[in-house]
Structure 1
Amino acid sequence: MYYSQFIMPNIIVHNMRQFLNSTPRALIMCLLVLVATHAYAQTPQPTTPTAVPEIQLTRLFPNVALRRPIQAIQAPGEPEILYVVEQAGRILRLDEKNDQVKSGDVFVDIRAQVNSKNNEEGLLSICFDPNYVANGFLYMYYSADKPRRSILSRFHVSSDRKSVDVDSQIKILEVDQPYSNHNGGTVLFGPDGMLYLSLGDGGAANDPHGHGQNLRTLLASVLRIDVSQCTKESPYAIPADNPFVDTKGARKEIWAYGLRNVWRMAFDRETKLLWAGDVGQDQYEEIDVIVKGGNYGWNAREGFHEFAPGSKGDFGDTYREPAYEYSHSNGVSVTGGYVYRGKKYPQLNGIYFFADFGYGIIWGARCQDLKLGPPRKLIHRSANLWSSFGEMLNGELVLCSFDGGDRGPGSLWKITGAQTSTADVAR
C-alpha cells in the first residue's frame, strides 16, 4: 500500500520529465490531443437521475365550478377536449382553447340512473374505446340501487362527438354489492385491447364475507374481459389467456385478486405495466403492479404486513408484495396515479405520481422495475382532496380535487413545471 501511494508516483513523475525533455514539442501536442480524446470517449454518459424534481401545478378552467370531480380524461382524436366526470352522474366537456369559460358543456347526464347517496358510490369511472374515432363507444362504471349493485355499460356517442345517446346503453356486467363502500372504481383499456375493471371487496370493514381470497366472486379483484364484439345478447367474452380459465370454481373474468379497494389504476404507456393504488384499512396504503394471476394478499395482509392471521387463499397461492407502502402517519386513502411519459418535462420521465386523498399530499417516485424508488413529497399536506389523476393524449398529467367546506368548488390542475433539487424522502 505504501509503495503504491508514495514510490510509484515519484517514478512516474521522473519518467515523465525525461520524456518531455527528449521529445519534440509537436509530437507532445499530438499525444496530448489523443489522450484527451480517449479520456472524453471513456467518460460515462449521464444515466437517468434518481432524484425526483420539483413540480408546479397550474389551475385549469378556474372559473368552472365543478361538483365532486373524480376523473379527467381525453378521447382519441380530440387533443384539445377534456372530459370531466362528476360523481353524481354528469360528464362535462371542456375545450382547452377556452380556459376562461364559466361552465362546461354537458356531455351526458345519467344522474337519474346513478346512486350517489354515499361517499363511495356514484359514476366512478369512464373510458373511451381504443377505436373511438370510428365507433364512438363510451364505457361507464357506476353504482345503482334497488338492489345495490355496480354496473359496467357501453354507450354510443353522437356523430358530432358532443353528446351521448343514453338510450344506447348496453349493460355489460352487473355485480351485487353488499355494502355502500369499497366499490373499486377504474375502467380502462389495456395495451392489449382488453377492458380492465377494478372491484373492491364489497365493503364494511375487515372483509367480513372473505371476498379477498375467494376466486368464486368477482369482488376484490381486477377483471379483464373482451368487449370487441359486444352485443346485448353477448356483452363480453373471456380472453383465452386469462389466468383462471382452467381453474375449477374460479370466475374466469379475474385477472388479479386479493385487493381491498383499487380506486385508481393506470397503465404505463411505455412499459405496459399496470400500476394501482389499493386503499388500506387500519395502518397502510399500498401501490401495486398488477400482474396476471397475482394474489395481493387481502385480507390476509395489509401492505407488507399480516392482517388476518391464518387466512389462506382458496387455491394455495402465494402473495405478491406491494411496489410501495406508506403508513397512516402519512395519509389515509391512496389515490393511484400515472407514470409520466410526456415530452414537455423530460426530467419527469419515468416518475410515478400518486396522492393521498385524505391528507392532500402528492408524491413522485421513480419506477424501478416492479418497485418504486424513495418517494418525494412534492405537495405537502394541503386543503386539496386529490381524487384522481388523468393522462392526456400527449402524456401530460392533470389532477382532480374534490369540493367542500373551505375548499370551495371542485377544481382541475395540471403539472406545468419542474426543476431539479435535492430529494425530500417521504417517511
Structure 2
Amino acid sequence: MVLLMMTFGGWVNCSPEGSLMLLILCVQMLTVAAHPQCLDFKPPFQPSEPLTFCTTYSSFGCCDAPRDAAIARKYRHILSYFHHSGIAVCAQYVRQLLCQQCSPFAAHLYDAEDANTPVRQVPGLCAGYCAEYWKRCRSTLSLLTGDPRHTELEADQARFCGLLELRDPDYCYPAVLASRRLNARLGAVRADPRRGCLQLCLREVANQLRNPVAMVHAGDGTRRFFVAEQLGLVWAYLPNGSRLARPFLNLTEAVLTSPWLGDERGFLGLAFHPAHRRNGKVYVYYSIFARQAERIRISEFQLLPGNINALDPTSERVVLEVVEPASNHNGGQLLFGRDGYLYIFTGDGGRAGDPFGRFGNAQNKSSLLGKVLRVDVNHNDNGPPYRVPLDNPFVGERWARPEVYAYGVRNMWRCSVDRGDPVTGAGAGRLFCGDVGQNKFEEVDIVRRGGNYGWRAREGFSCYDKKLCTNSSLNDILPIFAYPHKLGRSVTGGYIYRGCEMPNLNGLYIFGDYMSGRLMALKEDNASGEWHYHEICMGRGQVCNFPKLINSYYPYIISFAEDEAGELYFMSSGNPSAYVAAGTVYKLIDPSRRGGILFLFKASTAGEMSL
C-alpha cells in the first residue's frame, strides 16, 4: 500500500488548552483543508454545455445553463436602474458578485456550511475588494440582496464592509480565485461517464484528517466510531458526528514516521476486543524503531478507569513485535474473527520481489512476515499476552511458527469479516483481503485456514517467479479477482455489504484502489462460486440531488469501514500526507433508496401544512 507521509517537521496542537496564537493557526490550517462545495450541498461539476454569462465557471463550477441564464436576467434587471455612466463603472462588480453562485467554493463564500448562520445573500468579500466596491458602487447592494433596508449602510463604510467581508483570507472573494492550494486539484474525481456502472452517492461524515488509515466501532451499542490517523492519533466520534477534543489515543511520540513520500510506516491498524464493553481492551498495530531495528508492534491498551472515550497510555502491553528488514510492506490490518481470535496481517518484509532467503519470507512458514497470524488474546491478564489456538493449521509442524494461519501474501492492505447474509447467514465469517501487487496485478482474496496465497510464486493469476510457480507442491489458492494496472496500482480491500439501508447492495464486495481512486464491486455467483466485476461511479445529473449528498470524493482511497449497523464507509485524501489535514470519511449511499424517503417526508410535511 502506497501512503504519503509528513511534509513538515512538526505538528500543531489544536486542543482547547493551546494559546490564542495556536488557536488562530489551527483555524487557518483547518480552513485550507476544506473542499469545493456548492450552495445545495452538492459537489461542483462540469456543465453539460458552456455558460454564456458566468463564463469563468464554464469548465468547473456550480451552475448549469438554466442557472446561468437566470443570473444573467438578474444582472440585466439591476443595471436597468443605472444611467450608462453608472453601468460603465458598476457592471463588472455586479457581474462578479452574482456569478459567485457558480464558484466551486460557493458554500464557503456564502457561509452555507455553517448551520448556525444564515446563508449570505452576497458572497463574502476580501477587505480590499470591499473597500473598492463601497467607494465605486455601494448603491447596488440593496439591488443585489433585494432588501431596501441595506441602503442604510451606504453612508458607513465600516458597517457596509462589516456585513460583506469574509474574515477568512483563503476563501474571501476574489482571493479564492488566486489560491493555488485550493484550485490545483479541482475536479480530480468526477462522475464516470460510462454506462452500466453502479451509481452511488456519498455523505461526508468526518473531514480534516491526516491520512485516516482505519475507522472502527467499539461494538458496544454506543454507535461511536473511532478514526486512526497514520501519525499515531485515534479520535473518538459521537453518534451525532462530533469529534471529542481529546484523542482517544496518542502514540505520536512512539510511532515511526518520516518526511518521505511513499513511506508505508506509521500507525496502521486498530481493533476493539469483542468483549470490550466488559474488559475495555483495544489492540493497535504500528511501526517503531527499537533495539537498533525497525519493527512492527502489536500492543494491547485498556480504557482509562471511568472514561470510555480514552485509553490509558500507561496500560500498553506489547503482544508481539516483528523485525522489518525494509521500510515498506508493513502490512497493518488487525481484526477479530467470529471465532474470537485476533488476526494479524503482516507484509512480506519489503523491497521488491520478496528477496529474503531461498523462497522469500512469504513462503517461509518459520517467518512471521508475509502471513496471516491468528492468536488468542482472551483471558490473558495472568500469563503471556497471547496463546496459540490449538487448531491453528501448523501447530506441531517442524520449522513452522504456530501463529501462522495462512501464508504467501505480499502486503494485504485492508481486510474484513463477512457478517453473512442477514436472512440465511450464508458467508458469515469469511475473511476478505486486498493484497497489493508487485508490478502487474492487484488481487482480492478470501483467506482460509492453512491457505497459501502464492506470493512470490504468483502475482494475481500470473506467474511471478517461474521456478516457484511450477512447483506443484505449493498448492496455492488463487484470488477471487485480480486486475491489471490499467485499472489501478494499489488495491484497498473493502467489505461485503450486509446493512439494512441499501438492500440493492446486499452481497456486494465493495473495495477500491488507492492510486487510481477507482471504486469497484464484486458480486458472487452462488451457483458457480465465481465473482463478477461491477464498476461503481458517482451518481450523475439529479441522482444525488438530495440535501447533504455529494457525488465526488478525494482520489486517494486509503481504507474502508463498517459501522455497528453494517453500513459502509471509505476514507480518502486529496493530499495524502500524514501531516496534512486533507483526509475525509464518506458514507456510501444508494440513491435509489432515497427517493421513497424524500417522497414520504414531503407527503408528511404537506399533510401537516394542510392541517
TM bin (shorter chain): 0.7 to 0.9
Distance 1:281 1:137, change over 3 A: same
Size of the aligned set, in residue pairs, is 366
Higher strand share: 1
- Do residues 143 (structure 1) and 316 (structure 2) align? no
**Residue pair 1:341, 1:395 contacting (<8 A) in 2 also:** yes
Cα displacement string for residues 17-48 of structure 1 (whole angstroms, at most 9, x for unaligned residues): xxxxxxxxxxxxxxxxxxxxxxxxxxxxxxxx
CA distance in 2, matches of 1:174, 1:375: 39
Cα displacement string for residues 88-142 of structure 1 (whole angstroms, at most 9, x for unaligned residues): 000011123145x6x7541110111110225211110100000011110000001
Sequence identity percentage: 36
Distance 1:86 1:226, change over 3 A: same
Secondary structure, in 3 states, of the residue corresponding to 1:338? Answer: strand
Aligned-residue offset at 1:275: 0.4
CA distance in 1, matches of 2:458, 2:264: 23
2:311 is matched with which residue: 154, 164, 183? Answer: 164
Aligned-residue offset at 1:53: 4.1
Aligned residue in 1 for 2:92 = none
CA distance in 2, matches of 1:143, 1:56: 35
CA RMSD of aligned residues (A): 2.3
CA distance in 2, matches of 1:123, 1:305: 32
CA distance in 1, matches of 2:301, 2:530: 37
**Residue pair 1:53, 1:418 contacting (<8 A) in 2 also:** no
- Do residues 415 (structure 1) and 565 (structure 2) align? no
Secondary structure, in 3 states, of the residue corresponding to 2:308? Answer: coil
Distance 1:403 1:85, change over 3 A: farther
Higher helix share: 2
Query: Where do 4+ consecutive residues of structure 1 move more than 4 Å?
Result: 312-315, 379-383, 405-408
Cα displacement string for residues 236-265 of structure 1 (whole angstroms, at most 9, x for unaligned residues): 111111111132111111111000000111
Aligned residue in 2 for 1:358 = 515
1:109 is matched with which residue: 237, 243, 250? Answer: 250
Comparing 315-324 with 353-362, which one deviates more in the overlay?
A: 315-324
Distance 1:408 1:224, change over 3 A: closer
1:390 is matched with which residue: 548, 551, 561? Answer: 561
CA distance in 1, matches of 2:489, 2:415: 17
**Residue pair 1:213, 1:314 contacting (<8 A) in 2 also:** no
Secondary structure, in 3 states, of the residue corresponding to 2:504? Answer: helix
1:71 is matched with which residue: 206, 214, 233? Answer: 214
**Residue pair 2:393, 2:450 contacting (<8 A) in 1 also:** yes
- Do residues 134 (structure 1) and 278 (structure 2) align? yes
Aligned residue in 2 for 1:44 = none
**Residue pair 1:151, 1:173 contacting (<8 A) in 2 also:** yes
CA distance in 2, matches of 1:195, 1:98: 29
Cα displacement string for residues 350-378 of structure 1 (whole angstroms, at most 9, x for unaligned residues): 00000000111111121346642222233
Cα displacement string for residues 66-106 of structure 1 (whole angstroms, at most 9, x for unaligned residues): 1111111111224431211000000011123145x6x7541
Aligned residue in 1 for 2:159 = none
Comparing 400-409 with 113-122, which one deviates more in the overlay?
A: 400-409
Secondary structure, in 3 states, of the residue corresponding to 2:247? Answer: strand
CA distance in 1, matches of 2:535, 2:241: 34
Cα displacement string for residues 371-424 of structure 1 (whole angstroms, at most 9, x for unaligned residues): 42222233599742110000100000111113417997111100122439xxxx
- Do residues 194 (structure 1) and 358 (structure 2) align? no
**Residue pair 2:210, 2:576 contacting (<8 A) in 1 also:** no
1:214 is matched with which residue: 327, 350, 364? Answer: 364
Distance 1:405 1:335, change over 3 A: closer
Secondary structure, in 3 states, of the residue corresponding to 1:376? Answer: strand
Comparing 139-148 with 375-384, which one deviates more in the overlay?
A: 375-384
AA aligned to 2:494 is G
Cα displacement string for residues 122-175 of structure 1 (whole angstroms, at most 9, x for unaligned residues): 110100000011110000001001320000010001232011101111101000
Aligned-residue offset at 1:317: 2.9
**Residue pair 1:123, 1:143 contacting (<8 A) in 2 also:** yes
Secondary structure, in 3 states, of the residue corresponding to 1:293? Answer: coil
CA distance in 2, matches of 1:314, 1:131: 44
Aligned residue in 2 for 1:291 = 448
Gapped runs of 5+ residues in structure 2? Answer: 1-195, 421-426, 540-551, 594-611
Structure 2 length-normalised TM: 0.57
Aligned residue in 2 for 1:278 = 435
Secondary structure, in 3 states, of the residue corresponding to 1:320? Answer: coil
AA aligned to 2:498 is R
Distance 1:180 1:76, change over 3 A: same
Gapped runs of 5+ residues in structure 1? Answer: 1-50, 421-427
CA distance in 2, matches of 1:274, 1:179: 27
Cα displacement string for residues 288-341 of structure 1 (whole angstroms, at most 9, x for unaligned residues): 000011101000110000001112699933111100000000000000000000
**Residue pair 2:224, 2:239 contacting (<8 A) in 1 also:** yes
